[in-house]
Structure 1
Amino acid sequence: MHNNYYFLRQLSHALTPLLQGTVVSECFSQNKDELIIRFETRTDPFFIKASLDPAFSCLSFPREFNRARKNSVDLFEKLIGHYVTGIRQFTNERSFAILFTEDITLLFKMHGNRCNIILFEKNIPIELFRNNIAGDATLDMDTLDRTIDWSYEAFLQKRSNLQALYFTFGKIIWKYLAAKKFETLSPEQQWQEIQAVKQQLENPTYFIAQADSVYLSLVRYGNIVGEFGEPLKAINDFFYTYTHQAAFIREKASAMATLRNKIQGSEQYYQKTFDKLAEVENDQHYKIWADLIMANMHQIKPGMDKIMLPDFYHENNLIEVKLKKDISPQKNAEAYYRKAKNQHIEIQRLQQSLETKEKEIARLKQQLQIIEGADELKSLRKTISREGLADEKEKQSAPLPFHEFEHSGFRIWVGRNAQSNDILTFKYGFKEDLWLHAKDVAGSHVLIKYQSGKNFPKDVIERAAQLAAYNSKRKTETLCPVVVTPKKFVRKRKGDPAGAVVVEREEVILVEPMK
């Protein structure tokens, strides 16, 4: 009810003796939704701070206000040097005006998300604080006063729509009446309740209360956290309480959202790593092939590229074992034992990653529980700082140096620019990955990420080559030659510019550039 007619009436009444005869010395703004007016009195200056954010518009009256040296702008310069002659409260309206010498008037129109401050000269609007409310540019102050028929006859006639009849009550009053079972009362009892509420509003006590949010009330409704006998004290404490509560809710929600996103990301990473570990653990064919070759070396003839052998690990079922025909059976077995050893190393790495990620998830969940339990701004900020989350909302994760595409289950990474190309190839690339680049022109480095035990399919290579061609100087050509090579054959010489590399062994394919 801080912008309710009944409160503003009490507020304007309290402001009259404080502002009468004072002179405006400054009127300025330090952000787009705030106006500060400084009045010079015989003793200390008096300030009006109008916060007109559409989400929360409220007046407050700070004892001091230090203007910033930068990022402030003078407004309503016509007011400077004018004396206050009085204050006008509009009847049954959420507006009041400060009257100045030379027929200057400053209107405070406190209409929720359409709040505005308008400067009049001889009753004609000459300047608006919020210029986006076009109707205020032609506002006639004499039309603001409104009437209410408080007769019993009008009450009986409008009983089905009393909120329209008593439009000055506002939402809190009707909630207050609803809590008193107003709808179940007889007409006479309802009339008595209306008169009792009207009496309270005309001679109010001011309450700061809390339900879903913090609000100012002129009746005792909700969880009361403050009680006042003066409107200026009430509105100042309300403004402080509301803004701190809003900051608490905003910062708590931000910290919780950050932690939940981290938990979700960590859990997704954990699941992918778990699935990968299961895949590698279940894939023991390298060791089996090596053992079968060693057990059947006498059957393997020179020049063979594959052989069917009984698998003594699986009831001697015949399985096909691939061979490199230009090396001996023993060398083939050694190669498979080496790959099996690498698989074992990968299993250990994946298990370590899972253990680390489990601890991280547990830590994040503990942090989230602590933040959820915070119930006050000061303690919340201490908790956020202690848990190392103080700067989370300012941190912006650096973008990856590549765009990712997927084709037939393979990941294709395309560098963003020359600097990103180097990072992609030499930081994110592994020797088993396949590297591609449009031949003899500037363009993006492209990697096809290796998958254990799988060859690179032809259609995946062609798709990656199309992307390499499209992200190069040859993107408009019908066909583009693209270099394809394992990443292990790509190196960078000292002093080469960003993106420049040397390819020691390459194959060239022709593709159509395609996005």
Structure 2
Amino acid sequence: MPFDGLFIHSLLKTLTTNLKKARLSKIYQPFDNDLILIFRNQGINYKLLISINAQHPRMHITTKNIINPDTASTFVMVLRKYLEGAILNEIKQVGMERIINLYFSNRNEFGDETNFVLSVELMGRHSNVILYNKATNKIIDLLKRINPEDNRVRLLLPHADYQLPPLITGIDGSTITQSEFGRLLAKYTTPLDMVNKFNGLDSDDKKELLGYFNNDFSFDALKLFMSNFDKPQGYVLQTVNHQNKFFCYRPRYLNLYVVLQSEDINKALDDFYQDMANKEWVRQKAKAVENVVNNENKKLSRKLIKLQKQLDSAENSTEFRIKGEILNVYLSSVKPGITTISLPNYYDENKPINIKLDPALSPAKNAQKYFVKYQKLRNSIKFIKEQIKLTQDNLAYFDTIQTAINNAEPQDIALIREELINQGYIRQHNKNNNLRKKKITADNIACFTLTSGKKVWVGKNNYQNDWLTLKKADKRFLWLHVKNIPGSHVILQDIEPTMADIKEAAEIAAYFSKARYSANVVVDYITVKKIKKPKGAKPGFVIYTGQKSISVTPIKENILCKRDN
């Protein structure tokens, strides 16, 4: 259902109540397709999220802590110039379309009042945010500039006249009168024909309205359906195929059952989109980091294959020693200048063995050449094995980085990137820039409360893992980690935990690991004092002995409901 015309019509009731006549105090753009506008109204701050993500375009009040980037985009700088400190006079929807206009008034440098419109178009891949001057109707700037070749319907560039996109004509259910409905009833004689003429309804709303009309094809049925949108609430409903959908009312005629209900529609929207938004925001932030990880994994995988072939060749080098020995025995049979000879192999019942020769060398020198090659290969085995171990360790390291990215929230990516810079995998463009800008503190660490009330800390990247295990945690606390799989260091803050506490903490450890979606995950646990970090080891790597293990199956809903921050 989000965000069709009727849903927006309903949502604006809450937005208008909170934001009308509010002052816009801060503007920032945390990600490519998202804006945050912070309003202050009657001593309360409201954080308005506007997203033009093609899959999930939306606008609602959020309480999530979203990182303010160090540098502002050009569009944000323009918005700050014209709108920072402005008063939001009105929020209006264009008909039943997915277009929301925010009307602002501000003072220019001469003290004169100026009026601007911030138009939010939530239209799938055509979504956009456009700032234009209300008096001149000229576009000042847009979040997504469109080349004229890509959109021949209207010009979406600064200084062009603002034009509405092509609109679909239809019936506005919020304004239609009983007499107008009567005239339409004579024209559209079946419920389905009538429903298809209404504007602002997605497929689910149309099915629901059709249910009302099939029961009672009248104006009263329409008004009863429209009353669902007078006091919007947040409903997360699930289909028979376990697909979650969001509604601002509870449908009567759709085969759905309630997963969650909240009187606060903005909070419900915030929670509903949180997981999807996090994944998208992390994808944007982590794109460069993931490219490094993928490239290193490819190089290391190719190197490992090459080393394994070299090891196989070295371990099968006995053939060269045998050929050298046979040549020594039959030197008199080897004529100078020949390139190959077949001699009896006394190691294999005197079966013939073909031996290649260098015609430029004497028979004795050819034999010596085989001995040298044999010895060289034997001597290389130790070095190759060391290189294989190093390559496998590096692959395991990048596996931990990828797991950290998969488990990351947007604010975690900076620390992962910093780690790769310090390890020499990403080049730092500004060498004078201090890498460790943000010190790791307990506020950065994810914290959970178990059923017993005991706390659990979770490090979500290698730097956090090191800090949590080696610096922060009491040596008597319990340390947990999935067995032989990349994952978070987890600390159970208790000296004498019960098995129920250990099981819950182990489920958290399993969830924040590469085995997040697996069943019967084995988790090791041991006191912090027994954890050691080898000298020169990469971030996040520790060793331990004497651990105990427990097998658990992580369930997302059970774990995330325990999170404090």
**Range into which the TM-score falls when normalised by the shorter chain:** 0.5 to 0.7
Kindly state the Cα deviation for residue 264 of structure 1 after the two structures are TM-superposed. Answer: 6.9
- CA contact 2:120–2:129 (8 Å) conserved in 1: yes
- CA contact 1:205–1:228 (8 Å) conserved in 2: yes
Aligned to 2:234: 206
Structure 1: 5+ residue runs without aligned partners?
400-515
2:97 match: secondary structure: coil
Aligned to 2:130: 117
Within the candidate set 192, 196, 214, 1:188 is matched to 214
- Quick one: structure 1 residues 32 and 322, their matched pair in 2 at CA, closer, same or farther if it must change by over 3 Å? closer
Kindly state the Cα deviation for residue 169 of structure 1 after the two structures are TM-superposed. Answer: 1.9
The whole-number CA distance in structure 1 between the counterparts of 2:91 and 2:357 is: 97
- CA contact 1:84–1:99 (8 Å) conserved in 2: yes
The whole-number CA distance in structure 2 between the counterparts of 1:325 and 1:245 is: 66
Structure 2: 5+ residue runs without aligned partners?
106-112, 174-180, 428-565
- Quick one: structure 1 residues 70 and 271, their matched pair in 2 at CA, closer, same or farther if it must change by over 3 Å? closer
Alignment of 1:229 onto 2:263:
yes
Q: How does 1:251-330 map to 2 (within 5 A)?
A: 269=303, 271-276=305-310, 286-298=320-332, 308=341, 310-313=343-346, 315=350, 317=352, 322=357, 330=364
The whole-number CA distance in structure 1 between the counterparts of 2:94 and 2:59 is: 17
1:345 match: secondary structure: helix
Kindly state the Cα deviation for residue 143 of structure 1 after the two structures are TM-superposed. Answer: 8.2
**Superposed CA RMSD:** 5.8
The count of corresponding residues between Structure 1 and Structure 2 is 384
Taking structure 1 as the reference length, the TM-score comes to 0.53
- CA contact 1:105–1:121 (8 Å) conserved in 2: yes
Kindly state the Cα deviation for residue 6 of structure 1 after the two structures are TM-superposed. Answer: 2.5
Kindly state the Cα deviation for residue 8 of structure 1 after the two structures are TM-superposed. Answer: 2.4
- Quick one: structure 1 residues 110 and 45, their matched pair in 2 at CA, closer, same or farther if it must change by over 3 Å? same
Taking structure 2 as the reference length, the TM-score comes to 0.49
The whole-number CA distance in structure 1 between the counterparts of 2:281 and 2:317 is: 54
- CA contact 2:24–2:38 (8 Å) conserved in 1: yes
Which stretch shifts more, 108-117 or 55-64? 55-64
The whole-number CA distance in structure 2 between the counterparts of 1:283 and 1:17 is: 82
Q: Which amino acid counterpart does residue 217 of structure 1 have in structure 2?
A: F
- Quick one: structure 1 residues 46 and 271, their matched pair in 2 at CA, closer, same or farther if it must change by over 3 Å? closer
- CA contact 1:201–1:219 (8 Å) conserved in 2: yes
Kindly state the Cα deviation for residue 311 of structure 1 after the two structures are TM-superposed. Answer: 1.7
- Quick one: structure 1 residues 265 and 51, their matched pair in 2 at CA, closer, same or farther if it must change by over 3 Å? same
Aligned to 2:374: 340
Alignment of 1:90 onto 2:94:
yes
Within the candidate set 119, 122, 134, 1:108 is matched to 119
- Quick one: structure 1 residues 62 and 76, their matched pair in 2 at CA, closer, same or farther if it must change by over 3 Å? same
Within the candidate set 74, 79, 101, 1:75 is matched to 79
Alignment of 1:217 onto 2:247:
yes
Q: How does 1:421-432 map to 2 (within 5 A)?
A: none
The whole-number CA distance in structure 1 between the counterparts of 2:51 and 2:102 is: 17
- Quick one: structure 1 residues 272 and 59, their matched pair in 2 at CA, closer, same or farther if it must change by over 3 Å? same
The whole-number CA distance in structure 2 between the counterparts of 1:74 and 1:365 is: 40
2:57 match: secondary structure: strand
Q: How does 1:95-174 map to 2 (within 5 A)?
A: 95-99=99-103, 104=115, 106-112=117-123, 113-122=126-135, 124-130=137-143, 131-132=145-146, 134-135=154-155, 137-139=161-163, 147-148=171-172, 152=185, 156-157=189-190, 159=192, 162=195, 164-173=196-205
- Quick one: structure 1 residues 391 and 50, their matched pair in 2 at CA, closer, same or farther if it must change by over 3 Å? same
Percent of aligned positions with the same letter in both sequences? 12
- CA contact 2:130–2:139 (8 Å) conserved in 1: no
Q: Which amino acid counterpart does residue 77 of structure 2 have in structure 1?
A: V
Kindly state the Cα deviation for residue 109 of structure 1 after the two structures are TM-superposed. Answer: 3.3
Kindly state the Cα deviation for residue 50 of structure 1 after the two structures are TM-superposed. Answer: 3.0
Kindly state the Cα deviation for residue 58 of structure 1 after the two structures are TM-superposed. Answer: 2.9
- CA contact 1:117–1:129 (8 Å) conserved in 2: yes
- CA contact 1:79–1:104 (8 Å) conserved in 2: no
- Quick one: structure 1 residues 292 and 15, their matched pair in 2 at CA, closer, same or farther if it must change by over 3 Å? closer
Kindly state the Cα deviation for residue 296 of structure 1 after the two structures are TM-superposed. Answer: 3.1
- Quick one: structure 1 residues 392 and 5, their matched pair in 2 at CA, closer, same or farther if it must change by over 3 Å? farther
The whole-number CA distance in structure 1 between the counterparts of 2:32 and 2:15 is: 25
- CA contact 1:48–1:61 (8 Å) conserved in 2: yes
1:165 match: secondary structure: coil
Please tell me whether Structure 1 or Structure 2 has the larger radius of gyration of its CA atoms: 1
2:378 match: secondary structure: helix
- Quick one: structure 1 residues 60 and 85, their matched pair in 2 at CA, closer, same or farther if it must change by over 3 Å? closer
